[in-house]
């Protein structure tokens, strides 16, 4: 163990964050301001998510961190180690074993359960920010439920590209009231936002926490004649052959060669362990280096 | 040092408050679900769950209002020593504590259109807490949930204020259930 308080943050900070989390659950989709602390990592590395995880974590938790689906990127590994060191919690890469999952920009392929908590790292929590830079104005727009500008933006997508070109951070309407940014998850993940697990979104630099209680009604904005579509690359995974998981495109040489593979490394690995092999994959070997 | 207000707090605050918060959060996220919340041993008439909620969530930043016969010296001393929270009038309170009969909802903060989170959380000690009675629907509930609410009309009116409104916690012994403003009751 270390000399840190359990889960790094001091108790007064945790109480402040916990009060914000409760209000965010009571008003789904509304961004609750909180006094974000300076964390021992730079903004943009998940300081909001880390503070939320620290405030909800208990000793018995099994903690998982994914970065765009992957358990083994620098960001995911260092946040996992951070809580191993400061909270002495067990960590895992297996989605089904985890009780708290901190995520950057993906929802795991494996459906989550009521016993799990999903914590999102959020860069820009305000869905209207790129349309209206003033916080005073966007706050007023949320208060008045004035979301016309967002529909204009989606309409302009259609008039310029023939379809809604927004592929990630696709805006949603929560319980018929607040328009919310689901963080930069691919729109492929939007239909999963209504789920049995508690979802909490933490934005450290922007000092906002918002949440979706289980089974909250979440609707991706669209038009009758241009309905929302959860899209993905039209390929099977090169490693495990999955046709229904979200794929990353990987450049494999300097002559334009490419392959597609699951962005969710745990999902892909579990499939390969069961013997599924994609077109560019090789059978998984025990003790392979 | 034989003063009861010095006793009854958490013995291991980081661990016990984390455990307590998970129960409180589950209750607020899933309205009508009854969760265990323990750790504090507050003076009468406070329930264990109500006392635990206060020392988990309240501090010098949060005004607490004690309604009716909860506004007694033993409770005031305990809250002041354990949390440092100022005891305030109902209109300024972030947390309001009492029995259903003692709490006057009309004076409490319901938030503003721009900051609906600036609203009171009402902790109601109930004689019994069970998953039957009024029907609850809304976020956090898959189909319907049931809870023995002490009233119906007050909560129906509160829900019509959404996104403004009060959030309720019902405590009984070492158990808690919650009713946020987003829940529709019938």
Task: For B93-106, write each residue's pLDDT tens digit.
Answer: 999 999 999 999 99
Average pLDDT over residues A177-198: 97
Distance CA B136, CA A158 (A): 40
Residues of B in contact with A215 (CB under 8 A): 139-142
Chain B CA closest to residue A34: B117
Cβ of B182 within 8 Å of Cβ of A28? The answer is: yes
- What is each CA distance from A178 to A5, A118, A186, B31, B61, in whole angstroms? 36, 20, 20, 20, 28
Cβ of B14 within 8 Å of Cβ of A7? The answer is: yes
Instruction: List phi, psi (to 5°) of B26.
Output: -60, -40
What's the confidence (pLDDT) of residue A3? 85
Q: Name which of A282, A118, A197, A213 is nearest B137 in CA terms.
A: A213
User: Among all chains, which residue has been given the structure tokens 């009969």?
Assistant: B101
Residue B173 region by backbone torsions, left for phi larger than 0, else alpha for psi between -120 and 50, else beta: left
Chain B CA closest to residue A209: B117
Could you list the beta-strand ranges (E) of chain A: 32-33, 62-67, 90-91, 100-104, 117-121, 172-174, 178-180, 198-203, 208-212, 218-220, 247-251, 258-262
Produce one character per residue of A203-228: b if its CB has 16 or more CB atoms within 10 Å, e if not: bbebbbbbbbbbbbbbbbbeeeeeeb
Q: Which residues of A are catalytic?
A: 29, 237, 240, 262, 268
- Contact residues, A window 175-194, toward B, CB-based 8 Å cutoff: 175, 177-178
What's the confidence (pLDDT) of residue A289? 52
Whether the CB of B44 is below 8 Å from some CB of chain A: the reply is no
Cβ of B139 within 8 Å of Cβ of A5? The answer is: no
Residues of B in contact with A28 (CB under 8 A): 139, 182
Whether the CB of A228 is below 8 Å from some CB of chain B: the reply is no
Is residue B1 very low, low, confident or very high in pLDDT (cuts 50, 70, 90)?
very low
Average pLDDT over residues A171-186: 97
pLDDT at A286 over 80: no
Q: Name which of A42, A26, A109 is nearest A71 in CA terms.
A: A109
Q: Which of A21, A175, A214 minimises the CB distance to B30?
A: A214
Residue to test with chain B: of A12, A26, A59, A88, most B Cβ within 10 A: A26
Distance CA A4, CA A80 (A): 16
Whether the CB of B140 is below 8 Å from some CB of chain A: the reply is yes
pTM: 0.96
pLDDT tens profile B46-56: 999 999 999 99
Quick check: A102 and A49 in contact, CB under 8 A?
yes
The count of CB pairs under 8 A between chains A and B is 114
Cβ of A22 within 8 Å of Cβ of B121? The answer is: yes
What's the confidence (pLDDT) of residue A254? 93
Quick check: B142 and B87 in contact, CB under 8 A?
no
Residue to test with chain A: of B10, B59, B60, B117, most A Cβ within 10 A: B117
Average pLDDT over residues A270-282: 92
Distance CA A207, CA A184 (A): 17
Whole-complex ipTM: 0.97
Whether the CB of A52 is below 8 Å from some CB of chain B: the reply is no
Q: Which of A14, A26, A178 minimises the CB distance to B167?
A: A26
- Please tell me which residue, A35 or A284, carries the higher pLDDT value: A35
* pLDDT above 70 coverage of chain A, percent: 98
What's the confidence (pLDDT) of residue B58? 98
Q: Which of B15, B29, B57 minimises the CB distance to A19?
A: B57
Locate A283 and state its tokens.
């059978």
Instruction: Say which residues have a Cβ less than 8 Å from residue B39's Cβ, sequence separation at least 6.
Output: B10, B16, B17, B19, B20, B48, B52, B55, B56
Residues of B in contact with A144 (CB under 8 A): 113
pLDDT tens profile A22-40: 999 999 999 999 999 999 9
Is residue A153 very low, low, confident or very high in pLDDT (cuts 50, 70, 90)?
very high
By DSSP bridging, strand A90-91 and strand A218-220 are unpaired
């Amino acid at each position: 163990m270390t000399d840190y308080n359990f889960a790094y943050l001091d108790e007064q900070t945790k109480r402040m964050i916990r009060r914000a989390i409760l209000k965010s659950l009571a008003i789904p989709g509304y961004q609750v301001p909180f006094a974000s602390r300076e964390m021992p990592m730079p903004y943009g590395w998940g300081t909001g998510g880390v503070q939320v995880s620290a405030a909800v974590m208990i000793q018995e938790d099994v903690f998982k961190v994914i970065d765009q689906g992957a358990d083994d990127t620098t960001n995911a590994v260092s946040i996992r180690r951070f809580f191993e060191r400061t909270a002495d919690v067990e960590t895992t890469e297996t989605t089904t074993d985890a009780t708290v999952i901190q995520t950057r920009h993906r929802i795991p392929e494996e459906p989550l359960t009521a016993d799990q908590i999903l914590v999102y790292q959020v860069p820009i929590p305000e869905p209207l920010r790129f349309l209206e830079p003033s916080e005073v104005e966007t706050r007023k727009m949320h208060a008045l439920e004035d979301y016309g500008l967002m529909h204009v933006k989606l309409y302009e997508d259609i008039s310029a590209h023939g379809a809604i070109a927004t592929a990630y951070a696709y805006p949603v309407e929560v319980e018929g009231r607040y328009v919310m940014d689901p963080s930069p998850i691919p729109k492929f993940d939007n239909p999963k936002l209504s789920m049995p697990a508690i979802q909490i979104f933490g934005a450290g630099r922007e000092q906002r926490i918002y949440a979706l209680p289980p089974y909250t009604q979440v609707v991706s904005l669209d038009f009758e004649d241009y309905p929302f579509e959860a899209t993905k690359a039209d390929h099977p995974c090169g490693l495990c052959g999955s046709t229904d998981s979200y794929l990353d495109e990987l450049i494999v040489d300097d002559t334009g060669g490419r392959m597609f593979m699951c962005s969710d490394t745990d999902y892909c690995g579990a499939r390969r362990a069961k013997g599924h092999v994609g077109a560019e994959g090789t059978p998984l070997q025990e003790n392979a280096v | 040092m034989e003063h009861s207000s010095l006793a009854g707090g958490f013995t291991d605050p980081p661990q016990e408050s984390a455990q307590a918060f998970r129960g409180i959060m589950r209750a607020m996220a899933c309205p009508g679900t009854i969760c265990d919340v323990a750790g504090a041993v507050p003076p009468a008439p406070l329930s264990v769950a109500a006392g635990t909620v206060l020392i988990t969530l309240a501090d010098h930043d949060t005004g607490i209002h004690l309604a009716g016969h909860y506004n007694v010296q033993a409770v005031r001393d305990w809250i002041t020593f354990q949390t440092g929270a100022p005891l305030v009038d109902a209109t300024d309170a972030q947390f309001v504590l009492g029995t259903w009969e003692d709490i006057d909802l009309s004076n409490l903060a319901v938030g503003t259109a721009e900051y609906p989170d600036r609203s009171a959380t009402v902790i109601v000690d109930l004689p019994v807490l069970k998953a039957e009675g009024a029907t609850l629907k809304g976020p956090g509930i898959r189909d319907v949930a049931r809870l023995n609410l002490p009233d119906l009309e007050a909560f129906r009116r509160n829900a019509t204020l959404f996104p403004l409104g009060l959030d309720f916690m019902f405590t009984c012994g070492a158990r808690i259930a919650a009713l946020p403003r987003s829940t529709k009751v019938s």
